[in-house]
């Protein structure tokens, strides 16, 4: 049975002190056991501190990136082994901002996925089309190519450690959300592509999250859809009550 997951993606927000304050706020609002897994994706500098702070709580921790190289002379990079050593359990990879602003290609992402898994991290792998691609009705082609380019080389066992996040680029940080029907349609398509590659059981067990201006007000309708298993949340993960409202949608 697949998991329902609400994952935050802080992006490049919060100093260390602000991040600690947010985690304390989250711990104080998440008193009852939620009906979903809760993950917070933080900048590298928070990982060790936050992982320590959430021990024994329902909150799990994700990095927002890792290097495509194992170790060595790559100034400024952070390896998957380093991420794992902080206590983080997940790594977000393939976010459209990384693809666009940092030129992360399918090949680079494939290397990152392999290193994250080899180091015992689970992966939240992001896919999604641009507005121009949606207007040209190419969204299915785009998400399929993104899966084929960076995660479909994995064994079924390794693919089982991957969560997919569908994030239409035109909905990220824009306040424009895909309608629940639009999101469900492409989530079902993504699951069918996974089924064609790995079979029914793996497809049914894969969590597929929706991302893009997801908030407390639209989460219930999105999460009620059969193929939407939670959300990857940017803006609304930066304030504990907003993030909790989304968790409460389950």
Shortest distance (Å) from residue 231 CB to ligand PGA: 8
Which member of 5, 6, 9, 54 binds ligand PGA (CB under 6 A)? 9
Which member of 167, 184, 227, 229 binds ligand PGA (CB under 6 A)? 167
Decide: is 63 part of the binding site for ligand PGA (CB under 6 A).
no
Footprint (CB under 6 A) of ligand PGA, residues 15-54: none
The set of catalytic residues is 95, 167
Question: Closer to ligand PGA at the Cβ: 9 or 49?
Answer: 9
The Cα–Cα gap between 3 and 193 comes to 19
Q: How many residues bind ligand PGA (CB under 6 A)?
A: 13
Question: Closer to ligand PGA at the Cβ: 112 or 203?
Answer: 112
Q: Classify burial at 181, counting beta carbons within 10 Å of its beta carbon; exposed 0-12, middle 13-18, buried 19 or more.
A: exposed
Shortest distance (Å) from residue 214 CB to ligand PGA: 6
Question: Closer to ligand PGA at the Cβ: 203 or 228?
Answer: 228
Question: Closer to ligand PGA at the Cβ: 86 or 213?
Answer: 213
Q: Which DSSP string do the residues of the chain spell out, in sequence order?
A: -PPPEEEEE--S---HHHHHHHHHHHHHH--SPPSSEEEEEE-GGGHHHHHHHTTTSSEEEEES---SSSSSS-TT---HHHHHHTT--EEEE--HHHHHHS---HHHHHHHHHHHHHTT-EEEEEE---HHHHHTT-HHHHHHHHHHHHTTTS-HHHHTTEEEEE--GGGTTTS-PPPHHHHHHHHHHHHHHHHHHH-HHHHHH--EEEESS--TTTHHHHHTSTT--EEEESGGGSSHHHHHHHHTT-
Binding mask 73-102 for ligand PGA (x = CB under 6 A): ------------------------------
Footprint (CB under 6 A) of ligand PGA, residues 208-247: 211-214, 232-236
Question: Closer to ligand PGA at the Cβ: 214 or 249?
Answer: 214
Shortest distance (Å) from residue 6 CB to ligand PGA: 11
Site of interaction with ligand PGA (CB under 6 A): 9, 167, 172-173, 211-214, 232-236
């Amino acid at each position: 049975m697949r998991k329902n997951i609400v994952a935050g993606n802080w992006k490049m927000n919060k100093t260390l002190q602000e991040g600690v304050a947010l985690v304390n706020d989250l711990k104080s609002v998440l008193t009852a056991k939620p009906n979903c897994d809760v993950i917070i994706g933080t900048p590298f500098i928070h990982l060790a501190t936050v992982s320590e702070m959430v021990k024994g709580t329902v909150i799990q921790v994700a990095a927002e990136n890792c290097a495509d190289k194992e170790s060595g002379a790559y100034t400024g990079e952070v390896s998957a082994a380093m991420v794992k050593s902080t206590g983080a359990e997940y790594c977000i990879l393939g976010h459209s901002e990384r693809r666009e602003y940092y030129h992360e290609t399918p090949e680079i992402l494939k290397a990152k996925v392999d290193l994250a898994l080899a180091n015992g991290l689970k992966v939240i792998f992001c896919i999604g089309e641009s507005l121009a691609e949606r207007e040209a009705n190419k969204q299915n082609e785009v998400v399929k190519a993104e899966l084929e380019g960076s995660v479909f080389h994995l064994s079924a066992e390794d693919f089982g450690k991957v969560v997919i996040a569908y994030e239409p680029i035109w909905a990220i940080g824009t306040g424009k959300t895909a309608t629940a029907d639009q999101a469900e349609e492409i989530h079902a398509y993504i699951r069918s592509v996974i089924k064609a590659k790995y079979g029914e059981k793996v497809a049914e067990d894969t969590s597929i999250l929706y991302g893009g201006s997801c908030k407390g007000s639209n989460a219930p309708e999105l999460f009620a859809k059969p193929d939407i298993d939670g959300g990857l949340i940017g803006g609304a993960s930066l304030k504990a009550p907003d993030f909790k409202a989304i968790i409460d949608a389950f």
